[in-house]
Amino acid sequence: MSIHRRKASSILFLAALIALAAACAATTSRPGINASAGRPVPAPSGWRLEPPVTYQNLSIFPVVSSQDADTSGFATLDEALASGDATVSEQGEYLRRTRDGVPRPVYQSGAQVNQLVLVNRGKRSLLLLAGEVVSGGKQDRVIGKDRIVPVGAPPLPLDVFCVENGRWTGESANFSAAKLMVHPSVREKAAVEQDQSQVWAAVRGESVTVEASAGPIAGANSAAGAPPPAPAALPQASVSAVIASEAPTQSYKRIYQSKEVSVSVDSFVREIEDRFDRATAHLNGEHVVGVVVAYGDEVAWSDVFASSELFDAYWPKLLRSYVIEALTRPAVRQTVSLDDAHDFLRPLSGHIEQESEPGVYEWRKQLLGHLSEIQLAALAPKPLTLHWLRVLRVD
């Protein structure tokens, strides 16, 4: 793979971001908005932002594109684990038969908190996103970094973080897909900060400095007719109570799927799903490929994919993660605009950190102030940015 080709994916995506920034600077009554129609002006890259879908303190801007890349050659972790095309095991528990027929562990060091063994047995490259939860083994874990595992790759030492602090006993030899993405406060500590102690603190609800207030949000948007009842907030005290009663091992899965938490989360998710589906039903020849997410008056997160197929695969667990985050944040009236979302996507020019596996993928992290950006680009069969993440880091 030539140097020019390896850089092509990053250049392509940066061009998209520059185009969005240019739309923000357009001289209309509102930058990035068609003054006569009140609709976003399409960026030359094919990306544009739709008006936000709002409920309570959560606003989600659909990112739409007329382009839809072919990503059928990539499998998600959930589908690969469910089909048996991928396995995830503790180190020392994945056995490979030698030529003499004797099974021996691939890694002799035994189980490690921050490393598992992943094997891709399928016919498609495997896409992993930081924040995805795998359940089982001696502790539940969360994937620590976006990456691609090619077809036929040797057993991979996989970097992870523990999201179950109080257990170190085997539930099963292998891990299964929890079909969960940790909420942004936890995901940031894994994907950006790469710090186990901060991940544990975020699981316990200690990463948001201002606790959520209970009760409905004054002036929150609602569908026609009577607004649905506001879901109960999840301040740290509520999370601590769930840990004490239902999740003594501090298992992320058990905390955020517990009855006390899931009732609020599920009703919130249904409301956003309905609004999102209605808001994007009019699209003609365009596809939703991502979202920009705001809490209250703060634009804080974005997940954008190369295709609507990938977005659709991740959307259910991404949405649940955004909702959990919203319930742990202050219940304040949302005031974000399309201009705010466009501004959040402006190109960065800070410190860059890069990793790559020749001919497979390139991972790139860029930091500027409180903003962090992570790009994951496939290098084969052609350069293509599969996932783009922008984060407003939590202190």
pLDDT digits (tens, 9 = 90+) for 134-152: 998 888 999 999 999 999 9
Distance CA 183, CA 317 (A): 9
Q: Which of 56-65, 135-144, 168-177 has the highest mean pLDDT?
A: 56-65
**Helix or strand (DSSP H, E) at 67:** none
More confident residue, 253 or 312: 312
Mean pLDDT over each residue of the chain, to the nearest integer: 81
Mean pLDDT value across residues 278-283: 94
Ordered DSSP codes for 214-279:
PSPPTT----SSSPPPPPPP--HHHHHHHHHHT-TT-BHHHHHTSHHHHHHHHHHHHHHHHHHHHH
Ordered DSSP codes for 236-254:
HHHHHHHHHHT-TT-BHHH
Cβ pair 24, 346 in contact under 8 A: yes
pLDDT digits (tens, 9 = 90+) for 201-236: 999 888 544 333 334 443 344 444 456 667 878 777
pLDDT at 38: 38
pLDDT at 243: 81
Residue 184 has pLDDT above 90, yes or no: yes
Closest CA to 352 of 322, 325, 374, 321: 374
Q: How confident is the model at residue 96 (pLDDT cuts 50, 70, 90)?
A: low
Burial degree of 372 (CB within 10 A; 0-12, 13-18, 19+):
buried
Distance CA 138, CA 66 (A): 45
pLDDT at 222: 41
pLDDT at 232: 76
Residue 64 has pLDDT above 60, yes or no: yes
pLDDT digits (tens, 9 = 90+) for 363-382: 999 999 999 999 999 999 99
pLDDT digits (tens, 9 = 90+) for 244-256: 887 888 888 888 8
Mean pLDDT value across residues 297-312: 96
pLDDT at 109: 59
pLDDT digits (tens, 9 = 90+) for 155-171: 999 999 999 888 887 76
Q: How confident is the model at residue 350 (pLDDT cuts 50, 70, 90)?
A: confident
pLDDT digits (tens, 9 = 90+) for 5-54: 444 444 444 444 444 444 433 322 222 333 233 343 333 356 899 999 99
Q: How confident is the model at residue 2 (pLDDT cuts 50, 70, 90)?
A: very low
Domain spans, the chain: 3-69+268-380
Residue 190 has pLDDT above 90, yes or no: yes
